[in-house]
Amino acid sequence: MYPLPIIEDLLQESPGNVFSTVDLQKAFYQIPVAEEDIEKTAVTTPFGLFEFLGTSLGLRNSAQSMQRTMNHILRNLPFAKAYIDDIFVASSSHEEHLAHLRQLFTTLREANLKLNEQKCTFGRREVLYLGFQVTPDGFSPPDAKIQAIEKYAKPTDATELRRFLGMLNYYRQCMPSAAKIQAPLHELLKGLKNKRSKLKWTSAANEAFDKCKESIVKAACTTFLRPNAPLALRTDASDEAIGAALEQQDADGIWQPLGFFSKKLDSTQRRYSTYDRELLAITMTAAASQKSQLTARDNETPSPPGEAQELPEVATITMPSRLSPAIIAAAQEEDEELTDAQAQPSFNLQQIVLDGYEIWCDVAHGSVRPYLPARLRRAAYEIKHLPAHPGVKATARAVAESFVWPGVRKEVSSWTRCCNACQLSKVSRHNRSALGRFTEPDKVRTHPHRPDQAATRQ
């Protein structure tokens, strides 16, 4: 399945002073349905059976197919970003913006795509795009959305409360400490049997509801990501939640927010020490950053224009020396199981060029995972497991995220359970021996016992 872009990441990558938003007219219908799949789109009506010849908005992968198409069409226009059929253009000046629009219109004309003029906005300093107010300073919730949330009546059942939280959390990246503020409201939803269950409001929940409205009113304007600008990650942790703010230093030396992250702690995480909770905030914030803004700058590799833009992860793959692209490519040519793997519906194997070598990789889930023949699989396991000896699930997950072969998780889990170093050093559960009874001696000092004698386990 082709992944849709993250809205906040898409906006952060589009700094500028002049903006335009472009909406396509009936864009979905211009993507034809494969001949053998037309019958699957059939709709029964009183007037007969109708089938779609072009892609319908309601089909399972319509949005993903549209996103793939737009990424391919706009692959040579770095100033234009698309979210499905909504295009966003950012430029530094009006002259540059006019040139960008001419290039965009030429590209769309060559692709035979038409614009919906009523929904397009051109050459503005402020625009609305995907629910955000975009200005040269950054993007934030628009006033209309803020007023709608501010006037939202107190929910009476679970459905209304979930609707309120959904509206609020769409702008979660602009609100610090959102998890901590919303925690009492989430407590109201625990144990409810159905969607229309009535809520039992508490003083803490009432206070949290008011603070949620206040937080959206005071929501920060998150700035654009600037190349080579200093970054800082500020974290905080309480007994209930963790929070973090990723900030960027501007030309005047002022720290501006790039986004906020917060998460409610579970029962186990609440028992962590203060130091561990602070560290947890750092690791979870880094994991939540899809673009890895904290670490990507040192090893960032630009992608050449063209087909590779559909799989941006290819340009940043680094392979261990024991599993270099040359070694994998040579092993795949000799592998007899590759043909069977290509026929499996769970895989989507395609040939990807890595360091000049064509390698069969799985791209089924939007990431690129090289297929490993049997003689290289043990090496992949050792690369992931031997440095730190993680557990069974962690090792299987690490290998499966980087490589693919039939039954990868099951095979890696079996190897991990047989690791001698793990069995010698890690504490595992053992069966407890039943308590026994000693023979009562007739006289003192006639039946000695050694307290240091190890008990025999069953």
Could you tell me how far CA 420 lies from the centroid of its own chain?
35
Q: Phi and psi at residue 440, in whole multiples of 5°? A: -75, 120
Q: For residue 205, what are the CA distances in angstroms to 22, 54, 168, 201?
A: 42, 49, 16, 6
Which helix (H) or strand (E) covers residue 414, if one does?
helix 408-417
Q: For residue 227, what are the CA distances in angstroms to 15, 16, 174, 288?
A: 11, 13, 21, 20
Report CA dihedral (7, 10, 13, 17) to the nearest 10 degrees.
-80
Q: DSSP code of 220?
A: -
pLDDT tens for each residue of 271-300: 888 888 888 988 888 777 644 455 445 434
206 Cβ contact list (under 8 Å, min separation 6): none
- The angle at the Cα of 238, spanning 236 to 242, to the nearest 5 degrees, equals 55
Do domains 7-129 and 137-220 share one topology? The answer is yes
For tokens 């990424």, name the residue.
Answer: 71
3-state DSSP call for residue 325?
helix
Strand partners, 89: 20, 80
> What integer pLDDT is reported at residue 347 of this predicted model?
84
Helices (H) and strands (E) in the chain, counts: 14, 15
Q: Which of 110, 169, 100, 107 is nearest to 141 (CA)?
A: 169
Distance of alpha carbon 189 from alpha carbon 201, whole angstroms: 11
For tokens 């009506």, name the residue.
Answer: 45
Helices marked H in 192-324:
203-217, 274-288
Ranges of each domain in the chain: 7-129, 137-220, 224-295, 325-423
Helix, strand, coil % (nearest 5) of the chain? 40, 20, 40
> What integer pLDDT is reported at residue 4 of this predicted model?
86
How many CA within 13 A on the CB side of residue 360?
20
Distance of alpha carbon 430 from alpha carbon 423, whole angstroms: 12
> What integer pLDDT is reported at residue 321 of this predicted model?
56
Q: Which CATH class is domain 137-220?
A: alpha beta
Q: Are 66 and 28 in contact (CB under 8 A)?
A: yes
| Token representation of residue 429 | 């559960």
Q: Which of 238, 110, 253 is nearest to 179 (CA)?
A: 238
Following DSSP, what letter does each residue of 96-132 receive, concatenated? HHHHHHHHHHHHHHHTT--B-GGG-EEEESSEEETTE
Give 7-129's CATH code, choosing from 3.30.1360.120, 3.40.50.10190, 3.40.1390.10, 3.30.70.270.
Answer: 3.30.70.270
| Token representation of residue 77 | 């226009």
Query: What's the fold here for domain 224-295?
Result: Ubiquitin-like (UB roll) (3.10.20)
Residues of the chain with pLDDT under 50: 290-292, 295-296, 298-319, 430, 453, 455-458
> What integer pLDDT is reported at residue 452 of this predicted model?
54
Query: What's the fold here for domain 325-423?
Result: Endonuclease III; domain 1 (1.10.340)
Distance of alpha carbon 173 from alpha carbon 330, whole angstroms: 46
Distance of alpha carbon 266 from alpha carbon 287, whole angstroms: 18
| Token representation of residue 420 | 């001698």
3-state DSSP call for residue 326?
helix
pTM exceeds cut of 0.85: no
